Amino acid sequence: MRSPNLLVGWLTERIMRLTKHHGLGNDFVIALEEVNGPLHGDATLARSLCDRRRGIGADGFIIGSRPANGAKGPHGQAIDVVMQLWNADGSRAEMSGNGIRCLGQALAMARDDHEATYAVSTDGGFRELVVHDDAAHRLSTVSVTMGLVGDGPAIPSSVSERLANDRHATADLGNPHIVVLVADLASVDLVGTGAWIESQFDAGINVEFIATGSEPDSLDLLVWERGAGVTEACGTGATAAATLAHQWGLVGREVRVVMPGGSAEVIVAPTPDGEPVLIGPSQHIATIELPDA
């Protein structure tokens, strides 16, 4: 029989309620403050939850925090949620196109919405989501305004020399990317080259290798993600790749980006502000309850 003190502790133990989702195989564990109350995330918690042998397993951990009272987007929209994102290695990330779609589905589940528009504040800036969730909250299609695509960090000479035979450029979507155009993705040493390129940038970088696809206005893409390594898809990477490929004259404005986990659509600069829009799925995998240590 439990002692009275242990019984009190057991009965009052706080439970953290999480959901797990994936966007084209890029998976995330998500905790919402509107479900759990106040939450504190850090590198240790992120590494623990994302560990694929000793935790739940994911490429990233997201907390959806309540916004400050009266928080507004750039056009006066009331902010619905504040996104905080940690990579699997515990490092912070400014944005994730797949992660924010998963956050949108988690929010739709919590509010029992099936057609909704959400205003989201991220470390990479304001984003607007349009969520179309099925009746059982299992599969969503989510479109995301991705912010203006700016110039990325300067390319170190070591990287320029190694990529001298391949067209390449950096881009910024709130997080940094380098996109490398190759003739054949099968020839890419994704782990070796991707990790090496990331290591040459002081703050790290997401590395996308692309080739023109078999259909018009399509790209094939492999990604090495900063803080996560090889992943099956990258939403910000797909957006960076489509934008640069459009500037290079390889594709039009509506681009299908094919990744190992599946395909996403990128509409290059369709908004009045010139923001690209990313459209892709989010799949609910599981709802999980854990003791909140």
The CATH number of the domain where 172 resides is what? 3.10.310.10
CA–CA separation, 172 vs 151, rounded Å?
Answer: 6
99 and 177 in one domain? no
For residues 69 and 38, state if they share a domain: yes
Shared-domain flag, residues 18 and 140: yes
Q: What's the pLDDT score for residue 272?
A: 60
Q: Nearest 5°: phi and psi at 130?
A: -120, 115
DSSP H or E run through 141: strand 139-145
Q: Is residue 26 domain-shared with residue 128, that is, in the same domain?
A: yes
**What 3-state DSSP class applies to 284?**
strand
Same structural domain, 53 and 115: yes
Residues 204 and 76 in one domain: no
* Domain shared by 138 and 196, yes or no: no
Number of domains in the chain: 2
- State whether 105 and 67 are in the same domain: yes
CA dist 283 → 60, 109, 290 (Å): 15, 12, 21
Question: Same domain, yes or no, for 118 and 49?
Answer: yes
pLDDT in tens, the chain (293 residues): 444 443 334 344 688 999 999 999 999 999 999 999 999 999 999 999 999 999 999 999 999 999 999 899 888 899 999 999 999 999 999 999 999 999 999 999 999 999 999 999 999 999 999 999 999 999 999 999 999 999 999 999 999 999 999 999 999 999 999 999 999 999 999 999 999 999 999 999 999 999 999 999 999 999 999 999 999 999 999 999 999 999 999 999 999 999 999 999 999 986 666 899 999 999 999 999 998 65
Residue 193 belongs to domain spanning? 150-275
Please give the Cα distance from 61 to 46 (Å, whole number): 6
Examine the domain organization and report whether 9 and 133 are in the same domain. yes
Q: Are 205 and 108 part of one and the same domain?
A: no
CA distances from 173 to 22, 123, 149, 250, 277 (A): 21, 11, 5, 20, 12
Q: Read off the pTM.
A: 0.91
Please report the pLDDT score of residue 2 as a whole number.
40
- Burial-class residue 44 by CB neighbours within 10 Å (0-12, 13-18, 19+): exposed
CB of 288 within 8 A of CB of 16? no
User: How far is the C-alpha of 116 from the C-alpha of 109, rounded, in Å?
Assistant: 11
Distance spanning both ends of the chain, measured CA to CA: 24
138 and 43 within one domain: yes
